[in-house]
Structure 1
Amino acid sequence: MRTLRKARSILPLGQEPSETVLPPTVTVVVPARNEEAVLDDCLRGIRGQTYGSVQGNGSPALRVVVVDDGSTDRTGEIAERHAAEDPRVRVVRSDGPPAGWSGKVHAMHIGVEAAGEPEAGEWLLFVDADTVLAPELLGRLLGTAEQAEADLVSTPGGPPENSSASWPVLMPAGLQMIGENADPMGRGGKAFAIGHCILMRRSHYEKIGGWEALSGRRNEDIAIATAVRDHGGITRVVEGLSYVTTSGMDPFRQGWDSFRKSFVAGTHGSLPLLLGAGLGQIALCLASPAVLVSGLRGADPARIALGAIGWGAQSLAHLRTARVMHANPVLAPLAPFTNAVFGGVLLHGAVEVARGATSWKGRAARF
């Protein structure tokens, strides 16, 4: 029931804002480290936005800062080509984060700093390099923020063509687990946001202290939404998946690792939390089939009903979250088992944390 309620609270994507004499500047920041396979499509999508080609003073209302974050492939070359073709695009180079900063957060910080002093009414749009925007997305996202009087809106990306099994297998359970700890309307302990595409007022960015205030965070999307909410802002998650696609969950191993890293960051690398959540996820998800089978063997109507209700509830939640993410819901009848598979993601995170702790102790012993 909680999953269904939170899914209903996701805003539909609205229309573009009414025309104004001076449309607000939108600064797009794209952090990119070794993204040669996807950056070209990402920048083409951003440059193709229909929003605000020029302001009333003849300046472009859209400007793009690409942060080449210490790439060792052709990422910088691709970004420079787009900058040569389009004066709205600027490329800045970073040699990686200093001590105490996570890589992506530092790259986005560099991008905002490179954009210069804040402008009145300016918005910031943070876009992952593996994300592609449809031409109408920015205008409609701004319109949605205006209608909701929101200070930060975000939308996940939908699956690309020929997407991998990570979408029907991992995405429903992953979205449910994130939704247990963060709310699309910014309520509760944490506000929900999706790092694929985050649009926020620069005034609120400055109000919370920018990315510098979140320098060490790795679950930066939820962290910045929660900070905006805690400083009096309104945050909302928007259903813009028909206008945003991401290849960051493909192939399956990449999707698995993406979720693993997110939950390690979300638990601050707590080995007990990851172990407890992983084992608990597997046990709770498989409890319904186990009770149902037990009831069938013992011809116990009460256990049969209880197992069937639990199984049905998981399947319904799977169906709803799969539809939210535009994933194929064909596996909804097998939800207890796909949800149990996701428990393996959490246990893998626990293993990686344990390995990291062991490696650190080994290095310390050598010194």
Structure 2
Amino acid sequence: MTGVLTLLPGVAALTVLTALTVLTAHTLVNAGCWLRRPAEGPAPVTEPVAVLLPLRDEAGRVAPCLRALLAQRGVPGLRVVVLDDGSTDGTADVVRAVAGDDPRVTLLDGVAPPPGWLGKPHACWQLATRADPAATVLVFVDADVVLAPDAVAAAVTELRAARVTLLSPYPRILVVTASDRLVQPLLQWLWLTFLPLRAMERSRRPSLAAAGGQFLVLDRAGYDAAGGHAVVAEKILEDVELARAVKRAGGRIALADGSRLATCRMYEDWPQLRDGYSKSLWATFGHPAAAAAVVTVLLLLYTAPPLLAVAALAVGAPAVAAAALAAYLLGVAGRAVSARATGGRWWPDALAHPVSVGVLGWLTLRSYHLRKRRRLSWRGRPVT
């Protein structure tokens, strides 16, 4: 056993160290050079903007979101269109209580999605088609997002400055529970580590795309040219697929650090987080073989090194232990860089990064398992 382990630094451990060095360096470059950061305190936006808020059973969360929308500064042409998508918990009553008689707010009653549509794309499509035709920018916001007072103005200003059709300013994800801290930071870490941001902006390839539907800013003409949410009617990851549709239509997309513009508490507890990821991870990876390959590589790169370090020490192979420890620390460093770059908490959460990747692997397996048995649902509606 000792003889086998002593060979690893020259082959397997060296390969892992090299790969992690490259990936962590890529995270640093993305975070330091290519990640857009909308300016705070921008000049007022002169064009008309429609903020679109889809709601389904959000009575407990919509009030802070809507109050923040009504407190936006620097957007004199702001209009807020809210769609109650068949809520049964009094969501519409909360909206009326918060909005009062504010003429900027329009509350719509949604209709159930027809065959071939999922709930979220259909709600967004209804909002977009019924927004003021004069609005030249559409801003989609989820109910769990709370915007800073200048968020819409800053995001629209960045959209125009970057000359893109779609801008995704990713909010600062609020983490409260242990499960939050393990899983939620992986969202930003994954695209900062593995997605070349500058190439994504410049490339016309639809496959090179990312977006977050919590806070999404689009040029109205470009949205219409791409076909809007009608072209992603049946997609679980409607935000990413919409970004790809924009590219297919000749538009450009960009990601931005929106941690100073918005906060988001996506899930209240572990069951919500578990089910939320399970409903969509299968769509992230596509074919099960691709998912197995990706998860295996992630586990080998980020979860195996600390286990190998312990095993090497146990059999008296300090060189292997040192190499494995260095690999572990490189993984931790990448996680810390992504957290610092996106307003997240890095200490001591980054130390548990191998566990986070392990949980991601389990959630991916669960997602495929439930999909195979047609047991995936969200907000009381099937998603497969």
TM-score (norm. length: structure 2): 0.81
State the SS of the aligned residue for 1:66: strand
Larger deviation, residues 337-346 vs 249-258: 249-258
Q: Which of 152, 157, 162 pairs up with 1:138?
A: 152
Query: May I ask how many residue pairs the two structures share in their alignment?
Result: 345
Deviation at 1:93, TM superposition (A): 1.1
Cα distance between partner residues in 2 of 1:126 and 1:348: 30
| Aligned mates of 1:176, 1:150 — CA distance in 2 | 23
Q: CA RMSD in A?
A: 2.5
Distance 1:224 1:183 in 2: 19
Can you list the C-alpha shifts for 1:307-365, whole angstroms capped at 9, x where unaligned? 1232112111111222234332112223222221221111221221132179xxxxxxx
Q: In the alignment, what sits opposite 1:57? A: none
Contact 1:174–1:342 (Cα < 8 Å) also in 2:
no
1:173 aligns with 186
Q: 1:87 to 1:184 in 2, by over 3 A?
A: farther
1:307 to 324, 330, 340: 324
Pairs within 5 Å for 1:1-367: 1=23, 2-8=26-32, 9-19=34-44, 23-53=46-76, 61-119=77-135, 122-160=136-174, 163-178=176-191, 184-185=197-198, 186=200, 187=203, 189-268=207-286, 270-278=287-295, 281-329=298-346, 330-356=348-374
8 Å Cα contact 2:226-2:249 kept in structure 1: yes
CA distance in 2, matches of 1:312, 1:14: 33
Contact 1:166 1:250 in 2 (8 A): no
Contact in 1 for aligned 2:173/2:266 (Cα 8 Å): no
The amino acid of 1:231's aligned partner reads A
Check the 8 A contact 2:173/2:185 in 1, yes or no: no
Q: Aligned pair in 2 of structure 1 residues 262, 183: CA closer, same or farther (>3 Å)?
A: farther
Describe the shift of the 1:116–1:18 C-alpha distance in structure 2 as closer, same or farther (beyond 3 A).
closer
* Distance in structure 2 (CA, Å) of the matches to 1:321 and 1:250: 23
Unmatched tracts of structure 2, length 5 or more: 1-22, 377-384
Aligned partners of 1:19 and 1:155: how far apart in 2? 18
* Structure 1 residues 84 and 333: alpha-carbon distance in aligned structure 2, compared to 1, 3 A threshold: closer
Q: 1:226 to 1:274 in 2, by over 3 A?
A: same
8 A Cα contact 2:48 2:134, kept in partner = no
- In structure 2, relative to structure 1, the CA distance for the partners of 1:221 and 1:91 (3 Å cut) is same
Gap regions ≥5 residues in structure 1: 54-60, 359-367
Q: Which amino acid in structure 1 is aligned with residue 147 of structure 2?
A: L
Q: What secondary structure does 1:190 align onto? A: coil
Indicate the structure whose relative CO is greater, using CA pairs within 8 Å and at least 6 residues apart. 2
Q: Secondary structure at the match of 2:374?
A: helix
The structure 1 segments of at least 4 consecutive aligned residues displaced by more than 6 Å after TM superposition are none
